[in-house]
Amino acid sequence: MAGSAGVGPHAAVLFDLDGTLLDSFGSIADLTDVALVEAGHAPCDRVTLRRLIGLPLEAVFRQVWPHDPHPEEVARAIATYRAAQLDNPSPTFFAGARELVDDLRAAGTSLAIVTTKGTPAARRALADGNLLHRFGAVIGGDVVPHLKPHPAPAEMALRHLGISPRDAVVVGDTTHDVHMGVGAGCRAVGVTWGAHDAGTLLAAGAMAVADDMATLRALLLGAR
């Protein structure tokens, strides 16, 4: 646990989904490859892709494309990715994620998902994990005017929950999550089992960083 001062129970927790609750990097990489191969290109470099997790799909494809893509190429790649995503099984949850969500709800904490994943895919993943009913809002990248790191997704989630930013914390594995949360007036907690490391998350403004689910539980629930 790093930088843990001032982190404790909150009225609401806004969770990122991919890389935070869902062990989805392999799925994201496979879906990206489907779109690239269909366009006649080689599969993506996994190291490069991991650094891009959390960005909008448009930005991801522009980075992994072997040349400067035409907007129509990017649009077709995104459509292929989204279709394949709904045709394939949802990623699995990290060990301890379901229990943490259940414990937070049992403690009276309001919960929301704030993700760049499309809302239908996000809701399906939560339903497949029997967790959809635990979340008062699911904010996908298809329903907001601006994507992370802009604060708009967190702001929309807070409006749905009826919670003030000062009473909420954003939890995510990327600097995009941290910047979004801080920009919305929330506190932010980073997790290191996803895309970005502890130093990067703290430098972005995270008040604390968790290296495992048990530590995250302690940060969010304290002694309860």
- pLDDT (tens, 9 = 90+) of the chain, 224 residues, equals 565 544 667 899 999 999 999 998 888 899 999 999 999 999 999 888 888 887 888 989 999 999 899 999 999 999 999 888 888 888 899 999 999 999 999 999 999 999 998 899 899 999 999 999 999 999 999 999 999 999 999 999 999 999 999 999 999 999 999 999 999 999 999 999 998 999 999 999 999 999 999 999 999 998 44
Q: Which residues are annotated as catalytic?
A: 16, 18
Please say which residue of 62, 87, 112 terminates a domain: 87
Q: Cβ distance 57 to 147 under 8 Å?
A: no
Torsion angles phi and psi, residue 112, rounded to 5:
-145, 155
DSSP per residue, 146-162: S-TTSSHHHHHHHHHHT
CA gap 85, 213 in Å, rounded = 26
Taking the CB of residue 75, how many other CB atoms lie within 10 A of it? Answer: 13
Residue 4 lies in a domain: no
CA gap 222, 1 in Å, rounded = 13
Show Cβ contacts of residue 87 under 8 Å, excluding neighbours closer than 6 positions.
Answer: none
Residue 50 lies in a domain: yes
Domain that holds residue 215: 12-24+91-221
3-state secondary structure of 12: strand
**Dihedral of CA 96/99/101/104: which sign?**
negative
Domain count, the chain: 2
